[in-house]
Amino acid sequence: MTVHFHEEDLPAGVLAPGPVAVDTETMGLITPRDRLCVVQISDGKGDEHLVRFAAGSDYAAPNLRAVLADPERLKLYHFGRFDLAAIKYYLGVVAAPVYCTKIASRLIRTYTDRHGLKELVRELLGQDISKQQQSSDWGNPTLSDAQKDYAASDVRFLHALRTELNKRLEREGRMELAQACFDFLPHRAELDLAGWPEIDIFSHM
């Protein structure tokens, strides 16, 4: 298991074919204000790749953008709504098709209100991950080893989580509903970017 660190783009040919796990680190939670700093990506074969963008970056990243925009590659996220918006805003691509472990968890783990990645990894995979660096300064020109390991851990387990969550979704007959939610996620991210982040347009009120 190796964490590879890259500046401004993903090297060509470093990912195996198939689904990729994707996550982002930003300066905060307001996408137009808080710039995209790091994109993490993994093919699930044991290595994670971190692509760091400096302040003032033009986010050209042709190799990374090609992978994210590839309609033949499934992208695995945890809370994909946020990552999709950040990737669209800064990299200019819709990183779909989508699978979101948080949505899958909410649909199938209805016996709990704890749907964070840490809780999912602990219950479904029996492993512990640290979230200590979650709120650190991702815009720092020098990222610490702890930050790099935290960022990598956010994509390290998504392939295995998808396998376990799918077993439960299929068992309870909710796979079709989950897929419909995944298909809608890029549009939910567009609504966030367009000014409807906290408004439920499907609500009667």
67-86 pLDDT per residue, tens: 999 999 999 999 999 999 99
Domains in the chain: ranges and CATH: 3-134+145-194 (3.30.420.10)
pLDDT confidence of residue 135: 73
Which residue, 91, 53, 84, is CA-closest to 183?
A: 84
Give bridge partners of residue 6 from the DSSP assignment. Answer: 51
**What whole-number distance in Å separates Cα of residue 86 and Cα of residue 102?**
17
Q: Which residues of the chain have pLDDT under 50?
A: none
158 neighbors 21 (Cβ within 8 angstroms): yes
The model's pTM: 0.95
